[in-house]
Amino acid sequence: MAVQCTAQFKKGALLLTLFLGTWIFVPAARAGDITLKWDPPTTNVDETPLIDLAGYKLYYGTSAGSYNTVIDVGNVATTAIPNLDEGIIYYFAVTAYDDLGNESGFSNEVNKVILATPPGNIDVYTPASATRVDGYDLIALELSWGSTLLDTNWNPLSDLDNSGFIDQSDLNILIGNFGIKK
């Protein structure tokens, strides 16, 4: 199977041509998770129509070209991988297989660092604030200021020092990380 690849960052998504198609890293719902998508191949290496595609295997690991995990994702061109360690670079490649179990070579390799939400990122629901520490987080901290675990305005995300009380220490952590992006 012929594989062409190009890589570029555009609007936060990583695009790569794979099997004459495209991969897309979809921003994860939470740190530690990633969703991968690619366009299915339509022809064999010899340019004949591909009529016996049975599925894909996704390979990944923490070293380029060395994949210690393989997932048979079936005949779908997308998969989500949960519970990846934050701060680690993961490398991904895909193979296709036919009805007889013949497997293609690896696609182009892509990699992604799984980033943690920075301390102080309290407002993860406002799209503009979901991946950075900013003024929305300051407002969220202010709304829970002085609260404890038993108070109705308690927000566990505001308790940045895990003291059980929203106070100056939490504000200092937020200010120290102000502007940091995921």
pLDDT at 31 over 70: no
* Residue range 114-135: mean pLDDT, rounded: 79
Structural domains present in the chain: 7-113 (2.60.40.10), 117-182 (1.10.1330.10)
Residue 84 β-bridge partners = none
CA distance 76 to 78: 6
pLDDT at 97 over 80: yes
Give the per-residue pLDDT at 56: 95
Give the per-residue pLDDT at 167: 93
What are the pLDDT digits (tens) for 126-158? Answer: 888 878 888 888 898 899 999 988 888 888 888
pTM: 0.54
pLDDT at 114 over 80: no
CA distance 92 to 157: 32
Q: What are phi and psi of 154, to 5 degrees?
A: -65, 135
